[in-house]
Structure 1
Amino acid sequence: MTAYTPLNALPYPQSTDTANLPLHLQSLAEAIDSRTVLRYGTAALRDAAITTPAAGMVVWLTSPGQLTHYTGTVWAPVAPVPVFLYNNDAGTTTSTTATDALTDAAGDPLVASFVAPPTGRVIVTVGALMINSTATTCYMGATVKKVSDNSVFLASSIDRAAMLYHTNRASTSTQFLVSGLVAGTAYAASPTYWTAANTTAPNTVTYDNRFIRVDPVL
């Protein structure tokens, strides 16, 4: 009768077992297989191959280059790390509603892709060097979307925006907590830009040295 190791329950044959070396090696290989660091190209390929994951399984994903583990309920990053994006190409906007792309700026929109940690919470920070053409308030916020269907999880809002009311250039930033994310799910955060309406003169806002950072809350 096959016996098992005390720690990982790996099978090994007894002297009374049937003399079938290939079968015994197959049993051992299959038991070890799920305990190694598995490798898949994407989360979709992982989920298609591992239909009944066990808590503690570890998988490396080539895209986005991340080590994940199964918590017993979801796949989550083994060690979530901050995501930081920076763009030093200045651009402008006259929009009075939140937009994720500036005029005459390369590299927009900035998209900070991340996987929600087991807590379902991250801190989003945005900032830029900002200047108004008139004494009107301008804003920089962020929108968080679910990657799988591009649906908005948290819309950009004045309540969570960096603000400037001046015609002098100033560096401004803000950060806010995003909670209720589904652990192990891919999301994307993008900066947004807009200005308050000015009834006396056209208003153009310039943004430079822009950044967005997403920090997992563990």
Structure 2
Amino acid sequence: MPTNDAWGQGISLWSLTDAPDIPSAVGALGSGVIPRSIMRFASAAARSAAIDSPAEGMTVWLISEGRQEVYHSGSWIPVQPIPVQAEQVSDAPYNVTGTTVDYSSSAWPRPQFVAPPSGRAIVTVSAALANTNTDTSTIWAAWRAIGSLGYAFVDLNKTGLSAQAKRVVASRRYMLTGMTPGETITIVPQWNISSGTSSTASTFGGVLLVEPSS
């Protein structure tokens, strides 16, 4: 009877004591090797049509999407993390003080990404900001993270840029951890001013860059 391979991969190999049957021997080898190789498909839709029940660790290359994905914990996840970026379109209204407020999605789009197998991603916020209402008035540009499976992170002191009165141009990086692989994460840009209005506060050139980490 066929025996398993010596590397514990569950691939059936025809043995010398088996009755000669070349088609069955080749078929058993192919059935064992192909699902464990990097399979190629024209698109994600073609892959779904070909693989009804993916197995943990299956790896494929999607030609139209131009990326490699692995099946992990019930989801197809990019093997090489794909950076995403969202640029600020318009400024905040600055109509409240002392409160951290989400930018509208039209003023600053919210980048989304799929958490990689590591469950980690680096988020960088960059902007030019100022609040000239008084010599001590502050302005913040920051972000928070929310996930499709319940993940949440918010900490102004770790994710935010800040300026006091005069203009500051800066960036800040922070690594998110503990995300569930395959979870869809949304980064929500935020603003905060201590005093003043839109006539004294401004943020422009804002960029949010997300780099999923392997």
The two structures have a TM-score, normalised by structure 2, of 0.70
Q: 2: CA distance between counterparts of 1:27 and 1:88? A: 55
Q: Please tell me the root mean square deviation across aligned C-alpha atoms, in Å.
A: 3.8
Q: 1: CA distance between counterparts of 2:95 and 2:64? A: 35
Q: 1:202 to 1:159 in 2, by over 3 A?
A: same
Where 2:36 maps in the other structure, the secondary structure is coil
Instruction: Tell me which residue corresponds to 1:206.
Output: 202
Q: 2: CA distance between counterparts of 1:202 and 1:65? A: 44
Matched, 1:11 2:45: no
Q: List runs of 5+ in structure 2 lacking aligned partners.
A: none
Instruction: Tell me which residue corresponds to 1:154.
Output: 153
Q: List runs of 5+ in structure 1 lacking aligned partners.
A: none
Q: 1:12 to 1:115 in 2, by over 3 A?
A: same
Instruction: Tell me which residue corresponds to 1:116.
Output: 115
Give the C-alpha shift of residue 140 in structure 1.
0.7
Give the C-alpha shift of residue 124 in structure 1.
1.6
Aligned pairs for 1:45-194 (under 5 A) are: 45=48, 49-51=52-54, 53-54=55-56, 56-60=57-61, 66-70=67-71, 76-81=77-82, 83-87=83-87, 89-96=89-96, 97-101=100-104, 108-132=107-131, 134-135=133-134, 136-146=137-147, 148=148, 151=150, 153-155=152-154, 157-166=156-165, 168-194=166-192
Percent of residue pairs bearing the same amino acid type: 19
Instruction: Tell me which residue corresponds to 1:30.
Output: 31
**Runs of 4+ residues deviating >4 angstroms:** 3-8, 12-16, 61-65, 70-76, 201-204
Q: 1:101 to 1:158 in 2, by over 3 A?
A: farther
Aligned positions, number? 203
Give per-residue Cα distances to partners, 1:69-93, cap 9 Å, x unaligned: 3568986542335x24252644232
Give the C-alpha shift of residue 12 in structure 1.
4.3
Q: 2: CA distance between counterparts of 1:187 and 1:66? A: 19
Where 1:17 maps in the other structure, the secondary structure is coil
Contact 1:88 1:210 in 2 (8 A): yes
